[in-house]
Amino acid sequence: MAKKPARPNTDSTTGPGGETHQQVPHDADHGDAGAHLTTNQGIRVADNQNSLKAGARGPTLLEDFVLREKIFHFDHERIPERIVHARGSGAHGVFECTRAIPELTMAAPLQEVGKQTPVFARFSTVAGGAGSVDTPRDVRGFAVKFYTEAGIWDLVGNNIPVFFIQDAIKFPDLVHAVKMEADKGYPQAASAHDTFWDFVGLMPETMHMIMWAMSDRAIPRSLRTIEGFGVNTYRLVNAQGQAKFVKFHWKPVLGLQSTTWDEAVKIAGADPDYHRRDLYEAIETGNFPAWDFGVQVVDEEWAAAQDFDILDATKLIPEELVPVEIVGRMTLNRNPDNFFAETEQVAFCPANVVPGIDFSHDPLLQGRLFSYLDTQLKRLGSTNFHQLPINAPKCPVMNFQRDGHMQMGVPKGRANYEPNSLNEAGEPGGPRECPATGFSSFPAIERPEAAREDIAKVRLRPELFADHYSQARLFYASQTPIEQAHIASALVFELSKCVLEHVRTRVLSRLRNIDDSLAQRVADGLAMPLPEAAPAARAPVEMAPSPALSILAHGQPSLQGRLIGILFDEGSDKAAIDKLKGELEAGGAAVLLVAPKVGEHALKGGKLKAHGQLAGMPSVLFDAVASIIMPDPAAKLAMDAAAKQWFMDAFSHCKTIGACPATRKLLAGLGIEPDEGVVEIAQFAAVAPARHWDREPKVRMLA
Residues assigned a catalytic role: 85, 158
Inter-CA distances, 683 with 569, 579, 583, 687, Å: 21, 12, 10, 7
Cis peptide before 323 (omega within 30 of 0): no
The single-letter DSSP state of residue 183 is: T
What's the CA gap between 252 and 249, in Å, rounded? Answer: 10
What's the CA gap between 201 and 500, in Å, rounded? Answer: 12
Residue closest to 671 by CA, chosen among 640, 699, 632 = 699
What's the CA gap between 505 and 495, in Å, rounded? Answer: 10
Task: Let me know: does 506 contact 350? Beta carbons within 8 Å.
Answer: no
DSSP 415-462: --SSS--GGGGTS-------TTTS--PPPS--S-GGG-------S---
Which residues are 373's β-sheet partners? none
Which residues are 156's β-sheet partners? 143
Which residues are 246's β-sheet partners? 234, 297
Number of C-alpha atoms within 13 angstroms, CB side, residue 247? 26
Inter-CA distances, 488 with 406, 481, 501, 523, 545, Å: 52, 11, 18, 10, 18
Residue closest to 694 by CA, chosen among 560, 542, 552, 582 = 552
The single-letter DSSP state of residue 343 is: I
* Helix, strand or coil, per DSSP, at residue 74: helix
What's the CA gap between 336 and 352, in Å, rounded? Answer: 22
Task: Let me know: does 647 contact 619? Beta carbons within 8 Å.
Answer: yes
255 backbone φψ class: left, alpha, beta (φ>0; ψ -120 to 50): left
Cis peptide before 689 (omega within 30 of 0): yes
Residue closest to 339 by CA, chosen among 158, 120, 128, 94 = 120
DSSP 576-621: HHHHHHHHHHHTT-EEEEEESSSEEEEEBTEEEEESEEGGGS-GGG
Number of C-alpha atoms within 13 angstroms, CB side, residue 190? 19
Residue closest to 330 by CA, chosen among 111, 96, 100 = 96
As a whole number of Å, the CA-based R_g of the chain is 30
Amino acid sitting at position 448? P
- Encode burial over 382-398: b for 16+ CB neighbours within 10 A, e otherwise: ebbbbebebbeeeeeee
What's the CA gap between 619 and 164, in Å, rounded? Answer: 34
Give residues with Cβ within 8 angstroms of 650, minimum separation 6: 619, 622, 624, 625, 657
